[in-house]
Structure 1
């Protein structure tokens, strides 16, 4: 721009000098006078003026080229800026969407926390009420023992005074009734203590969940932390050989839930059964139009930690009214009686429920409860047939086909793993769908073949007699 201004200034001075008759200005470089282009009789000055015009034209051409290059560079820079602005707009929009989702999840977690606090208060009140009832029962037991001692002394005195035989028999029967009542009270105390322990366990789980929600309300996976320091109380113990009323022998109990259904029962709930060559125990019977089925596993809220040892999976753990594993010994005792059908029902986080049925048998403890399956029917893609012939595995007893890994330890929970298989219904309970593959494989999942695996909201495994083949 500066050379152009100088040339224009020189041309203006030349024109002014020619018009006013002033001496022409000199060239600042050569100090030669600059003549106007139409000065008469001065050809050299005219040619000099043409040289200046050429210089001016060349300068203008160079200036134009520079301006054109500058314009192209400026356009490229502006386009780059526009692209960056578009990227920024998209990123800002995505950030706004994620922020709104996080706010919605925060509101849901706040509602859940409030609900759990209310439940915690109710559980605490129930625990206090149960403790007071236990104290009352203990006092009644002490009084009853005192009365029993007094009756024993009276019986001794009466026997020494040669009381009539009918009175002695009556007193003996009275003593038996009192002893039966004492056993009933003992069993009741055991059951009440078990319920109290269960309530305390639930309260501690809710408290730990509240602490987790208060500490990190934006956590996406929201995994319910298991309490690895304390085992959940088991209510799946075997029953005594004689019922609490002292009148019915355990041999009169039905062998499974189908017999209870055939006896006229139509309400689902906890019943006592006695399979052949086994001690009696309680099971949860699910009654439907198809008959009665024994529920052997249920997951619904993550209240029970399923990452347990071999001994726990053999005996059973959990609460028959909520989450539980019936126990390999009890499942084997039922399955060895006749041909049974295993029914698996799964629910995902979209509230979609699907099921599948297998004809199955279970070998005994000598083979680590080897499973044998034959697919029958269902609207769920088969993911268990390749587990047939597998022994049961836990974190402290590795029976899977994976030589370099312990599937039960890596993916948590006991199962019939097959290096490491396409499904694990005893895995870690996650409250929301996880995006991480490693965490998803440790959860309750069902992955048929090459299909995408997905975590589950609830599971239920039951067994009932297989239909007769014609």
Structure 2
């Protein structure tokens, strides 16, 4: 048996990825200069993603080679433990694991098998780290795309000089200022509004994966989520409005209405908010163009937190941001839990009843407005 090439390949793989994995613990590099090329940043992110894919494929091939060696050792295991009772002569037994000839004692075989198992464990850990780094890079690339969209929205345009634009999705339209609360619920339903979400009794599980939130689930006559793709089809590329109706367990109700723009799946259905709206909803950090919130689920992490998956830590799918502003698709509680750690997973709207108050009922509606 020739173990040296396999072990060497694993060591070379570890050395090749040491820099990539150790970068997770280093401080983040300084921000890109104001006049840096976004295309260069995008190329860099794409290159890192390709490196992650290549490392992952290399690890999978190495694991396959180790698995084949283990199967060959397993086929020889019984014969090596009891050579007298085996029908094959000692030389034939040795050739099962050493086709090139030569003696291999049971102690040597056991030692080699132990080394292979330890090496396989290290390769498995490396594979998990590479996969984690790949997810992190994909998340960073999505943020770069959102920043590119915001830069396009802010870039000045001079008369007689048309600014060259890279081939990407259309610029976000300019949105109106924040409007006051809408108190007449029936007027909303009769004014061209479409209900896209309803929570009222906990009859539907909202802790669903990405595809479910994309396509929709539940019962339109009861609790349901219409589906991100359907909502984007309704709103199109126009500026739109979103209305949120909230109810607590004391019979109090609140209704809010504000302008939005909803991106397509290539932006993770990002919800674009103007600065006044972002501030009113509790955000403390946003760009001059506003706040862009990608949609996240437990299996598609697009939130603005680099150190956690908000959907996995809380519950449901939502435009989480930093996990603390709102979540109307959280876990439904029929009574308010005593434990604060449990309450944070519920349905909440921070700027109304607070971060740790799980609401009793919610309704979300959307309405397209005139194209800008």
- When you count helix as a share of all residues, which structure comes out higher? 1
Normalising by the residue count of structure 2, what TM-score does the alignment of the two structures yield?
Answer: 0.45
Bigger RCO (CA 8 Å, 6+ sep): 2
Q: Rg larger in 1 or in 2?
A: 1
Normalising by the residue count of structure 1, what TM-score does the alignment of the two structures yield?
Answer: 0.36
